[in-house]
Amino acid sequence: MTRPHRQVLRNRLLMQPFTGSFTQQEPIAEDAIAAAVEVLKSGRLHRYNTVGEELGAVAELEAAYAAYQGSAYCLACTSGGYAMATALRALGVGAGDVVLTNGFTLAPVPGAIAAVGAEVGLVEITSDLVIDQGDLERKIQTMSPKVVLVSNMRGHLCDMEALVALLERYNVPLIEDCAHTMGASWNGTKSGSFGLAGCFSTQTYKHMNSGEGGLLTSDDPEFMARAIMLSGSYMLFDRHGAAPAPDVFRDIKLETPNMSGRLDNLRASILLTQLGGLETNIDRWNARHDLVADRLRGVRGVYVPQRPVQERYVGSSFQFLMPDATPDMMMQVVTQAKRLGVELKWFGADQPVGFTSNHQSWRYISPQDLPITDSILAGLIDMRIPLTFSLEDCAQVADIIVHVIADVTRQGAA
């Protein structure tokens, strides 16, 4: 046996499998549990089932999140996907309209566009996993979109000031998908505050956990009045925590259909207590993310997306690219890492697995040619970083990934 092969064998023997769970979230805190129990004991789970001047947990959450976001208005609803579809409907997007979005995103984004009957137009991305603003401008010129729904996929923010300037030149509204950027900012301005509306998710794997849930924020009173009516407020819009004045609803309340998507008091009560710890958790996520990123940066054959100094991100997941790897090598990386307890997702696989679907598997939209995006996805690896991982856990995970990449690269060169 040659020396390099002996070293590979030794590394394999020394590499201990990771035993943590990549889907295990932190437990709901005791104060949140107590708040939820209080709601359960009351029996009044519906957001409008309040007594006297009582606001109710959903309205309290709307007021608290609007203050945190720095927005005039906030609507709590059933999911981030519902928030996006509602934002599009409130803007008047419908059949025959084009909505442009990133070629790299998750299925609820094109799903929200399809839900309103609009046409999905996909825009190329860059190797830093953000929307390509050059391709965006070309598609604005050729496709005349009603709106751009930018997806801050996996927490990566593009140059938001440049994006706003570009869309203002063409008078195209902006809606932000902030499912992965709750609490993030660009040059001090919070993600979700750059366009007409910001759409947030409180699904279990996001930055606040209510199982399912969504938040929609805006500074536009008529837009938000339509969104509130769409959510199923009946004529109880005065019971919202961050809503426009009643006179804004005068005609809108009679013209807007009810498409029930209200958040309930039980989930809102759980979220209210989590909001106070969000900033601390962002710092915790970023410490874990940065540890992994630092260990992967500089590894042969690996590119770690750049984070501009203007960006304050939320590192609840980690991505890296292997631009020169073959599909077989990518599959080996995923398979070998899994054997050692590390769950990686590959967005370039032929078939979608779990949360890794890409535009080629969305057969409900028109097929689109995205050669740059496809090339990037072919070498893209994605990994969750739950807060249940310690820094030591993250170091072990990073070491396993480095070991697997080196092993696969050696085999590919042999």
Give the span between the Cα atoms of 207 and 384, in whole angstroms. 12
Residue with tokens 């599909």: 327
State the pairing for strand pair 189-190/185-186.
antiparallel
CATH 3.40.640.10 maps onto the chain at 30-274
Torsion of the alpha carbons at 146, 180, 206 and 103, rounded to the nearest 10: 60
pLDDT given at position 246: 97
- Say whether 340 sits in a helix, a strand or coil: coil
Contact 122, 279 (CB under 8 A): no
Q: Architecture of 30-274 per CATH? A: 3-Layer(aba) Sandwich (3.40)
pLDDT given at position 352: 76
Instruction: Order across the sheet with 311-312: list the strands.
Output: 189-190, 185-186, 311-312
Give the span between the Cα atoms of 373 and 48, in whole angstroms. 45
Q: Which two tokens stand for residue 65?
A: 């999140």
pLDDT given at position 385: 98
For residue 77, the cross-strand partners are 214, 262
200 in the Ramachandran plot: left (φ > 0), alpha (ψ -120 to 50) or beta? beta
H or E element, residue 279 = helix 278-296
CATH 3.90.1150.10 maps onto the chain at 3-24+278-413
- Strands of 260-405, DSSP E: 311-312, 317-321, 345-346, 380-384
Report the CATH superfamily, name and number, of domain 3-24+278-413.
Aspartate Aminotransferase, domain 1 (3.90.1150.10)
CA 81 to chain CA centroid, nearest Å? 10
H or E element, residue 199 = strand 197-201
- Measured from the Cβ of residue 367, the count of other Cβ atoms closer than 10 Å reads 10
H or E element, residue 285 = helix 278-296
Residue with tokens 């789970």: 45
- Side chain identity at 385, as an amino acid letter? I
The pLDDT tens digits of the residues spanning 7-65 come to 444 454 457 999 999 999 999 999 999 999 999 999 999 999 998 888 999 999 999 99
Give the span between the Cα atoms of 25 and 268, in whole angstroms. 18
Q: Which two tokens stand for residue 135?
A: 């391709």
Work out the angle at residue 188's Cα, subtended by the Cα atoms of residues 69 and 140, and round it to the nearest 5 degrees: 85
For residue 321, the cross-strand partners are 303, 380
pLDDT given at position 63: 98
- Say whether 305 sits in a helix, a strand or coil: coil
What is the value of pTM for the model shown?
0.94
pLDDT given at position 11: 52
Q: Which two tokens stand for residue 367?
A: 């097929």
The pLDDT tens digits of the residues spanning 230-246 come to 999 999 999 999 999 99
Work out the angle at residue 138's Cα, subtended by the Cα atoms of residues 322 and 182, and round it to the nearest 5 degrees: 60
- Percentage of residues in the chain with pLDDT exceeding 70? 96
H or E element, residue 87 = helix 80-91
The pLDDT tens digits of the residues spanning 249-284 come to 999 999 999 999 999 999 999 999 999 999 999 999
pLDDT given at position 348: 87
Q: Which two tokens stand for residue 225?
A: 């009045």
pLDDT given at position 411: 84
H or E element, residue 101 = strand 98-102
The pLDDT averaged over each successive group of 10 residues in the chain (414 residues) is 45 75 96 97 96 93 98 98 98 97 96 97 98 98 98 98 98 98 98 98 97 98 98 96 97 97 98 97 98 96 97 98 96 97 92 79 93 97 98 97 95 69
> Phi and psi dihedrals of 345, rounded to 5?
-115, 140
Contact 160, 186 (CB under 8 A): yes
Q: Which two tokens stand for residue 296?
A: 């992967």
Give the span between the Cα atoms of 377 and 81, in whole angstroms. 23
Q: What is the distance in angstroms between the CA of the first residue and the CA of the last residue of the chain?
A: 15
192 in the Ramachandran plot: left (φ > 0), alpha (ψ -120 to 50) or beta? left
Contact 92, 222 (CB under 8 A): no
